[in-house]
Protein backbone atom coordinates (compact mmCIF):
# COMPACT_ATOMS: atom_id res chain seq x y z
CA UNK A 1 0.00 0.00 0.00
CA UNK A 2 2.99 2.33 0.49
CA UNK A 3 3.52 4.94 3.15
CA UNK A 4 0.54 7.15 3.99
CA UNK A 5 0.74 10.82 3.06
CA UNK A 6 2.19 12.98 5.84
CA UNK A 7 -0.59 15.52 5.25
CA UNK A 8 -4.06 14.73 3.90
CA UNK A 9 -5.80 17.34 1.77
CA UNK A 10 -9.50 17.63 1.05
CA UNK A 11 -12.06 20.28 0.16
CA UNK A 12 -15.50 20.69 1.65
CA UNK A 13 -18.30 21.85 -0.62
CA UNK A 14 -20.66 24.48 0.89
CA UNK A 15 -24.19 25.55 0.02
CA UNK A 16 -22.94 28.83 -1.48
CA UNK A 17 -20.80 26.96 -4.01
CA UNK A 18 -17.62 27.96 -2.23
CA UNK A 19 -15.23 25.35 -0.90
CA UNK A 20 -13.34 25.06 2.36
CA UNK A 21 -9.87 23.57 2.18
CA UNK A 22 -8.91 21.03 4.82
CA UNK A 23 -5.34 20.00 5.65
CA UNK A 24 -4.89 17.17 8.16
CA UNK A 25 -1.50 16.35 9.69
CA UNK A 26 -1.28 12.59 9.34
CA UNK A 27 1.43 11.15 11.54
CA UNK A 28 -0.39 10.19 14.75
CA UNK A 29 2.28 7.65 15.73
CA UNK A 30 4.76 10.53 16.16
CA UNK A 31 2.09 12.80 17.70
CA UNK A 32 2.03 14.60 14.35
CA UNK A 33 5.52 15.99 14.83
CA UNK A 34 6.46 18.41 12.08
CA UNK A 35 9.29 17.30 9.77
CA UNK A 36 10.35 19.18 6.65
CA UNK A 37 8.19 16.85 4.54
CA UNK A 38 5.03 18.18 6.22
CA UNK A 39 6.14 21.78 5.79
CA UNK A 40 6.86 21.17 2.09
CA UNK A 41 3.37 19.71 1.61
CA UNK A 42 1.48 22.38 3.54
CA UNK A 43 3.16 25.44 2.05
CA UNK A 44 2.17 25.09 -1.63
CA UNK A 45 -1.33 23.87 -0.82
CA UNK A 46 -2.04 26.82 1.46
CA UNK A 47 -0.72 29.12 -1.27
CA UNK A 48 -2.98 27.49 -3.86
CA UNK A 49 -6.06 27.81 -1.65
CA UNK A 50 -5.20 31.45 -0.92
CA UNK A 51 -5.18 32.21 -4.65
CA UNK A 52 -8.36 30.25 -5.47
CA UNK A 53 -11.43 32.55 -5.46
CA UNK A 54 -13.72 29.56 -4.95
CA UNK A 55 -12.06 28.70 -1.62
CA UNK A 56 -13.60 30.71 1.22
CA UNK A 57 -11.41 29.41 4.02
CA UNK A 58 -9.18 26.64 5.35
CA UNK A 59 -9.24 24.22 8.27
CA UNK A 60 -6.01 22.77 9.68
CA UNK A 61 -6.34 19.76 11.97
CA UNK A 62 -4.61 16.46 12.74
CA UNK A 63 -5.23 12.73 12.70
CA UNK A 64 -5.55 10.78 15.94
CA UNK A 65 -6.95 11.67 19.33
CA UNK A 66 -3.73 12.46 21.22
CA UNK A 67 -2.09 15.44 19.57
CA UNK A 68 -2.41 18.24 17.08
CA UNK A 69 1.37 18.58 16.76
CA UNK A 70 4.05 17.76 19.32
CA UNK A 71 6.69 20.00 17.73
CA UNK A 72 9.35 19.99 15.04
CA UNK A 73 11.60 17.12 14.06
CA UNK A 74 14.35 17.90 16.56
CA UNK A 75 15.79 14.38 16.39
CA UNK A 76 16.37 14.87 12.67
CA UNK A 77 18.08 18.18 13.45
CA UNK A 78 20.23 16.42 16.05
CA UNK A 79 21.56 13.98 13.46
CA UNK A 80 22.20 16.83 11.03
CA UNK A 81 24.18 18.69 13.70
CA UNK A 82 26.24 15.61 14.51
CA UNK A 83 27.07 15.12 10.83
CA UNK A 84 28.28 18.73 10.41
CA UNK A 85 31.84 19.85 11.27
CA UNK A 86 32.05 22.15 14.31
CA UNK A 87 31.62 25.82 13.52
CA UNK A 88 29.61 25.21 10.38
CA UNK A 89 25.90 25.71 9.81
CA UNK A 90 24.07 22.39 9.36
CA UNK A 91 22.47 22.82 5.93
CA UNK A 92 19.41 20.79 6.92
CA UNK A 93 18.82 23.03 9.94
CA UNK A 94 19.13 26.25 7.94
CA UNK A 95 16.62 24.93 5.41
CA UNK A 96 14.19 23.54 7.98
CA UNK A 97 13.97 26.71 10.05
CA UNK A 98 13.65 28.89 6.96
CA UNK A 99 10.76 26.85 5.57
CA UNK A 100 9.05 26.33 8.93
CA UNK A 101 9.12 30.04 9.72
CA UNK A 102 7.86 30.90 6.24
CA UNK A 103 4.91 28.59 6.83
CA UNK A 104 4.20 30.09 10.24
CA UNK A 105 4.39 33.61 8.80
CA UNK A 106 2.04 32.64 5.97
CA UNK A 107 -0.51 31.46 8.54
CA UNK A 108 -0.22 34.75 10.46
CA UNK A 109 -0.81 36.69 7.24
CA UNK A 110 -3.27 34.31 5.55
CA UNK A 111 -5.76 36.26 3.40
CA UNK A 112 -8.74 34.04 4.25
CA UNK A 113 -10.23 32.64 7.46
CA UNK A 114 -8.01 29.82 8.72
CA UNK A 115 -9.40 27.56 11.43
CA UNK A 116 -6.82 25.58 13.40
CA UNK A 117 -8.10 22.70 15.54
CA UNK A 118 -5.57 22.45 18.38
CA UNK A 119 -6.69 19.30 20.18
CA UNK A 120 -4.48 17.32 22.57
CA UNK A 121 -0.75 17.94 22.72
CA UNK A 122 0.35 21.21 21.10
CA UNK A 123 4.04 21.96 21.59
CA UNK A 124 6.82 23.90 19.89
CA UNK A 125 6.22 23.80 16.16
CA UNK A 126 2.58 22.98 16.80
CA UNK A 127 2.21 26.29 18.63
CA UNK A 128 3.68 27.96 15.55
CA UNK A 129 0.90 26.49 13.39
CA UNK A 130 -1.86 27.35 15.86
CA UNK A 131 -0.88 30.81 17.08
CA UNK A 132 -1.19 32.69 13.81
CA UNK A 133 -4.51 31.22 12.65
CA UNK A 134 -7.45 33.60 12.48
CA UNK A 135 -9.68 31.12 14.34
CA UNK A 136 -7.98 28.96 16.98
CA UNK A 137 -9.92 26.12 18.57
CA UNK A 138 -8.74 24.14 21.57
CA UNK A 139 -10.51 21.35 23.44
CA UNK A 140 -10.79 20.34 27.11
CA UNK A 141 -7.96 17.87 26.43
CA UNK A 142 -5.59 20.43 24.92
CA UNK A 143 -2.20 20.61 26.62
CA UNK A 144 -0.05 23.35 25.14
CA UNK A 145 3.54 24.11 26.06
CA UNK A 146 6.78 25.59 24.79
CA UNK A 147 9.27 23.55 26.86
CA UNK A 148 12.32 24.22 24.69
CA UNK A 149 14.47 25.21 27.67
CA UNK A 150 14.63 21.48 28.43
CA UNK A 151 16.33 20.69 25.12
CA UNK A 152 18.68 23.66 24.93
CA UNK A 153 16.55 25.64 22.50
CA UNK A 154 14.12 28.54 23.16
CA UNK A 155 10.45 29.26 22.29
CA UNK A 156 10.83 29.90 18.57
CA UNK A 157 8.21 29.77 15.74
CA UNK A 158 7.42 33.40 16.56
CA UNK A 159 7.44 32.81 20.31
CA UNK A 160 9.63 35.86 20.86
CA UNK A 161 6.75 37.92 19.39
CA UNK A 162 3.84 35.92 20.86
CA UNK A 163 4.93 35.43 24.46
CA UNK A 164 5.57 39.10 25.39
CA UNK A 165 2.00 39.88 24.31
CA UNK A 166 0.52 37.66 26.99
CA UNK A 167 -0.92 39.10 30.23
CA UNK A 168 1.56 40.52 32.71
CA UNK A 169 4.87 38.68 32.86
CA UNK A 170 3.40 35.31 31.97
CA UNK A 171 5.16 35.12 28.60
CA UNK A 172 8.63 35.24 30.09
CA UNK A 173 7.55 32.86 32.87
CA UNK A 174 6.40 30.32 30.25
CA UNK A 175 9.63 30.68 28.27
CA UNK A 176 11.71 29.99 31.38
CA UNK A 177 9.61 27.19 32.84
CA UNK A 178 7.88 25.48 29.90
CA UNK A 179 4.77 25.32 32.08
CA UNK A 180 1.92 23.40 30.42
CA UNK A 181 -1.32 25.23 29.61
CA UNK A 182 -4.82 23.79 29.61
CA UNK A 183 -7.71 25.04 27.51
CA UNK A 184 -8.64 27.81 29.93
CA UNK A 185 -5.00 28.93 30.09
CA UNK A 186 -4.80 29.20 26.30
CA UNK A 187 -7.86 31.44 26.25
CA UNK A 188 -6.47 33.63 29.01
CA UNK A 189 -3.07 33.84 27.32
CA UNK A 190 -4.58 34.82 23.97
CA UNK A 191 -3.47 31.62 22.22
CA UNK A 192 -6.99 30.33 21.54
CA UNK A 193 -10.32 31.87 20.61
CA UNK A 194 -12.84 29.20 21.48
CA UNK A 195 -13.05 25.87 23.31
CA UNK A 196 -15.01 23.01 21.72
CA UNK A 197 -15.30 19.33 22.43
CA UNK A 198 -13.08 17.28 20.16
CA UNK A 199 -16.03 15.09 19.25
CA UNK A 200 -17.78 18.19 17.85
CA UNK A 201 -15.29 18.52 15.00
CA UNK A 202 -17.65 16.78 12.58
CA UNK A 203 -20.45 19.10 13.69
CA UNK A 204 -18.22 22.06 12.86
CA UNK A 205 -17.47 20.62 9.42
CA UNK A 206 -21.18 20.08 8.78
CA UNK A 207 -21.93 23.65 9.89
CA UNK A 208 -19.23 24.99 7.55
CA UNK A 209 -20.82 23.07 4.67
CA UNK A 210 -24.26 24.46 5.57
CA UNK A 211 -23.10 28.10 5.67
CA UNK A 212 -23.37 30.53 2.78
CA UNK A 213 -19.94 32.09 2.37
CA UNK A 214 -19.27 35.32 0.48
CA UNK A 215 -15.67 34.88 -0.65
CA UNK A 216 -14.82 38.09 1.22
CA UNK A 217 -12.41 37.75 4.12
CA UNK A 218 -13.93 39.97 6.79
CA UNK A 219 -17.50 38.84 6.17
CA UNK A 220 -16.53 35.18 6.11
CA UNK A 221 -14.35 35.54 9.19
CA UNK A 222 -17.32 36.97 11.07
CA UNK A 223 -19.56 34.10 9.98
CA UNK A 224 -16.99 31.53 11.04
CA UNK A 225 -16.65 33.25 14.43
CA UNK A 226 -20.43 33.18 14.92
CA UNK A 227 -20.55 29.51 13.94
CA UNK A 228 -17.89 28.56 16.46
CA UNK A 229 -19.39 30.66 19.26
CA UNK A 230 -22.79 29.00 18.84
CA UNK A 231 -21.25 25.57 19.23
CA UNK A 232 -19.06 26.57 22.17
CA UNK A 233 -21.72 27.98 24.47
CA UNK A 234 -22.15 24.88 26.62
CA UNK A 235 -18.50 23.89 27.00
CA UNK A 236 -17.41 24.14 30.63
CA UNK A 237 -13.81 25.34 31.03
CA UNK A 238 -11.47 23.90 33.66
CA UNK A 239 -9.76 26.35 36.01
CA UNK A 240 -6.77 28.26 34.61
CA UNK A 241 -3.60 27.94 36.70
CA UNK A 242 -2.02 30.72 34.65
CA UNK A 243 -4.81 33.11 35.57
CA UNK A 244 -4.96 31.92 39.17
CA UNK A 245 -1.25 32.61 39.65
CA UNK A 246 -0.99 35.80 37.57
CA UNK A 247 -0.10 38.08 40.48
CA UNK A 248 2.36 35.52 41.81
CA UNK A 249 3.99 35.15 38.40
CA UNK A 250 4.28 38.91 37.99
CA UNK A 251 6.01 39.12 41.36
CA UNK A 252 8.32 36.17 40.58
CA UNK A 253 9.46 37.56 37.24
CA UNK A 254 9.18 41.28 37.87
CA UNK A 255 11.54 43.46 35.86
CA UNK A 256 14.69 42.18 37.51
CA UNK A 257 17.80 40.63 36.04
CA UNK A 258 17.59 36.92 35.34
CA UNK A 259 20.20 36.35 38.05
CA UNK A 260 17.68 37.74 40.55
CA UNK A 261 14.70 35.88 39.09
CA UNK A 262 16.41 32.47 38.96
CA UNK A 263 16.45 31.69 42.71
CA UNK A 264 12.79 32.68 42.99
CA UNK A 265 11.86 30.26 40.21
CA UNK A 266 14.01 27.49 41.66
CA UNK A 267 12.30 27.97 45.03
CA UNK A 268 9.00 26.91 43.46
CA UNK A 269 10.18 23.34 43.99
CA UNK A 270 8.89 23.70 47.55
CA UNK A 271 5.55 25.28 46.62
CA UNK A 272 2.34 23.48 47.63
CA UNK A 273 0.88 23.94 44.14
CA UNK A 274 2.01 21.08 41.84
CA UNK A 275 1.73 23.22 38.69
CA UNK A 276 4.23 25.71 40.12
CA UNK A 277 6.44 22.88 41.40
CA UNK A 278 6.67 21.45 37.88
CA UNK A 279 7.44 24.90 36.46
CA UNK A 280 10.25 25.46 38.95
CA UNK A 281 11.70 22.01 38.37
CA UNK A 282 11.73 22.48 34.60
CA UNK A 283 13.57 25.78 34.98
CA UNK A 284 16.10 24.26 37.37
CA UNK A 285 16.82 21.35 35.00
CA UNK A 286 16.88 23.50 31.87
CA UNK A 287 19.75 24.93 29.87
CA UNK A 288 21.17 28.10 31.42
CA UNK A 289 22.08 29.33 27.94
CA UNK A 290 18.50 28.80 26.76
CA UNK A 291 17.21 30.82 29.70
CA UNK A 292 19.46 33.79 28.94
CA UNK A 293 18.79 33.51 25.20
CA UNK A 294 15.01 33.53 25.76
CA UNK A 295 15.23 36.68 27.86
CA UNK A 296 17.46 38.41 25.31
CA UNK A 297 15.22 37.49 22.37
CA UNK A 298 12.13 38.84 24.07
CA UNK A 299 14.02 42.03 24.85
CA UNK A 300 15.22 42.47 21.26
CA UNK A 301 11.87 41.54 19.75
CA UNK A 302 9.87 44.02 21.80
CA UNK A 303 9.67 46.66 19.08
CA UNK A 304 10.25 44.48 16.01
CA UNK A 305 7.73 43.57 13.34
CA UNK A 306 6.63 39.95 13.11
CA UNK A 307 8.75 39.51 9.98
CA UNK A 308 11.82 40.89 11.74
CA UNK A 309 11.18 38.55 14.69
CA UNK A 310 11.18 35.53 12.38
CA UNK A 311 14.43 36.76 10.83
CA UNK A 312 15.98 37.15 14.28
CA UNK A 313 14.73 33.73 15.38
CA UNK A 314 16.19 32.09 12.25
CA UNK A 315 19.59 33.43 13.31
CA UNK A 316 19.07 32.23 16.88
CA UNK A 317 17.88 28.76 15.86
CA UNK A 318 20.75 28.21 13.46
CA UNK A 319 23.05 29.54 16.17
CA UNK A 320 21.69 26.96 18.61
CA UNK A 321 22.56 24.27 16.07
CA UNK A 322 26.16 25.51 16.04
CA UNK A 323 26.57 25.48 19.81
CA UNK A 324 26.54 22.77 22.42
CA UNK A 325 23.30 22.74 24.36
CA UNK A 326 20.66 22.07 21.69
CA UNK A 327 22.19 18.83 20.44
CA UNK A 328 22.98 17.81 24.01
CA UNK A 329 19.44 18.45 25.18
CA UNK A 330 17.92 16.41 22.34
CA UNK A 331 20.40 13.63 23.01
CA UNK A 332 19.52 13.44 26.69
CA UNK A 333 15.75 13.64 26.28
CA UNK A 334 15.00 11.92 22.97
CA UNK A 335 18.03 9.99 21.67
CA UNK A 336 19.85 8.33 24.57
CA UNK A 337 16.94 9.19 26.89
CA UNK A 338 19.13 9.30 30.00
CA UNK A 339 17.54 12.65 30.95
CA UNK A 340 20.91 13.84 32.20
CA UNK A 341 21.93 16.72 29.92
CA UNK A 342 25.40 18.11 30.49
CA UNK A 343 24.93 21.79 29.78
CA UNK A 344 27.88 23.97 28.79
CA UNK A 345 28.08 26.25 30.65
CA UNK A 346 26.36 24.50 33.53
CA UNK A 347 25.68 27.62 35.60
CA UNK A 348 23.65 30.70 34.76
CA UNK A 349 26.42 33.00 35.99
CA UNK A 350 28.78 31.55 33.38
CA UNK A 351 26.60 32.41 30.37
CA UNK A 352 28.41 35.42 28.92
CA UNK A 353 27.04 38.16 26.68
CA UNK A 354 29.60 37.04 24.11
CA UNK A 355 28.07 33.55 24.02
CA UNK A 356 24.59 34.95 23.45
CA UNK A 357 25.87 37.30 20.75
CA UNK A 358 27.51 34.31 19.06
CA UNK A 359 24.12 32.56 18.94
CA UNK A 360 22.50 35.62 17.35
CA UNK A 361 25.10 36.68 14.81
CA UNK A 362 24.39 36.40 11.10
CA UNK A 363 24.99 32.84 9.92
CA UNK A 364 24.54 33.39 6.19
CA UNK A 365 26.28 35.00 3.26
CA UNK A 366 24.57 37.83 1.43
CA UNK A 367 20.80 38.22 1.68
CA UNK A 368 19.02 36.89 4.74
CA UNK A 369 17.05 33.72 3.86
CA UNK A 370 13.85 35.41 5.12
CA UNK A 371 14.61 38.85 3.71
CA UNK A 372 11.48 38.85 1.54
CA UNK A 373 9.01 38.53 4.44
CA UNK A 374 7.17 41.83 4.34
Cis peptide upstream of residue 345 (ω within 30 degrees of 0): yes
Compute the distance between CA of residue 26 and CA of residue 123 in angstroms, rounded to an integer: 16
pLDDT at 190 over 70: yes
Q: Quick check: 3 pLDDT over 80? A: no
SS3 14: coil
pTM: 0.96
- From the list 148, 193, 220, 328, the catalytic residue is 148
- Whether 72 is catalytic is yes
The Cα diameter of the chain in Å comes to 63
343: pLDDT strictly greater than 80? yes
To the query of whether residue 156 is one of the catalytic residues in this protein, the response is yes
Q: Is 75 left (phi over 0), alpha (psi -120 to 50) or beta?
A: alpha
Q: Which of 72, 118, 120, 150 is catalytic?
A: 72
Position 321 scores a pLDDT of: 97
Query: Which of 156, 185, 193, 313 is flagged as catalytic?
Result: 156
Q: What is the DSSP letter of 335?
A: I
Contact partners, residue 239, CB within 8 Å, separation at least 6: 184
Count CB neighbours of 160 within 10 A.
28
Q: Would you say residue 252 has pLDDT above 80?
A: yes
User: Catalytic residue among 21, 118, 125, 280, which?
Assistant: 125
What does the pLDDT look like over 45-103, one tens digit per residue? 999 999 999 999 999 999 999 999 999 999 999 999 999 998 899 999 999 999 999 99
The 10s digit of each residue's pLDDT in 191-208 is: 999 999 999 999 999 999
Q: Is 159 a catalytic residue?
A: no
Count of residues making up the chain: 374
- Residue 152 falls in the annotated catalytic set: no
Please state which CATH number belongs to domain 7-360: 3.90.226.10
Amino acid sequence: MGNPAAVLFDTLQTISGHRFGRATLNAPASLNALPLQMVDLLTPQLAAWADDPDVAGVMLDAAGDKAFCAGGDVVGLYHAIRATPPGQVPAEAATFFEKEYRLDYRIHRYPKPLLCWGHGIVMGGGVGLLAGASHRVVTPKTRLAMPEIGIGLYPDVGGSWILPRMPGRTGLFLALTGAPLNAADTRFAGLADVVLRHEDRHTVLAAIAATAWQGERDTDAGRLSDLLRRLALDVELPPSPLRTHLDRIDALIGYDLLADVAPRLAALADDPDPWLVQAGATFARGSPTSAVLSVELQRRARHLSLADVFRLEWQASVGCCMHHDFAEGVRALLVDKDKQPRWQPAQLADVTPELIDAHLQLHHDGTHPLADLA
